[in-house]
Amino acid sequence: MNKLFNTILFSLVLSTSLFSNEIDKSLDIIEKTNNKLKNYQNKIDNVEYQREELLSKYKYTNAELKSTRVYNEQLRKILQSQKEELSNINQQIVDIENTQKNIFPLMLNMVDSLKKLVQMDTPFLLDERTTRIENIEKSLDKADIKTAEKYRIILEAFKIEYDYANSIETYQDKIDATTYDFLKLGRTALYYQSLDLKTYGYWNNETRSWVEVESSNAKANIRKGIKIAKKHQNVDFLNLPFLKQKDN
């Protein structure tokens, strides 16, 4: 009986040992399987991360590409605009050069017209007007004065001459080294009065000479005109028709 018990006990121990070995093998397989699954999961996670990273890079690159296309298109328009502007500038330079070639003779003619005007006109403010023309002629020869400025100076001189026609003015000047008070009415009449109020005269533009005034009425009106020009008297009618009247 003891032998049988021992046999049974041995069998049980052997079976338990075998079963334990099987369990260990199973656990080992399970562990290995879990490790493989974990590795697989890690690989999957890594692949997903790489996919997300690549997707993010793709989106960024695509956005950069769109921005680059927009920038390149804008740059193309800017370059085209600059090209057109450069073409316009080149044409303007050619036009300016042609204009300068044509405008310089024009300016010379304008200055010549001013000189003739002063020579043929009533000789009021003669030194001032002559000096102005001389300064204009000097400016035409100066390289540091731009053509536009030269043209502006000439136009300004013409404007001054034009304004003379609409003004009444008095000033002092000389005739044959003698100083007189002059009265200018527009640009058509010019009178003089001696400083001692004794001698009067007017400019006859037909004979290009000074004519002495003998009419007391005309003398009085010359005095009145000078006072009005100096603003020493209110504006009043001046009776100076050709100054040909003489006292009886």
* Residue at 66: amino acid letter: K
pLDDT at residue 248, as a whole number: 37
CA–CA gap between residue 174 and residue 184 (Å, rounded): 14
Among 224, 231, 168, 228, residue whose Cα is nearest residue 197: 224
- Residue 9: pLDDT band with limits 50, 70, 90: low
Is pLDDT at 63 greater than 90 in this prediction? no
pLDDT above 90 covers a percentage of the chain that reads: 34
Q: Is 100 left (phi over 0), alpha (psi -120 to 50) or beta?
A: alpha
User: In the chain, where does DSSP find H-type helix?
Assistant: 2-120, 126-140, 147-164, 216-229
- pTM exceeds cut of 0.85: no
Residues 103-126: pLDDT tens digits?
888 899 999 999 999 999 999 999
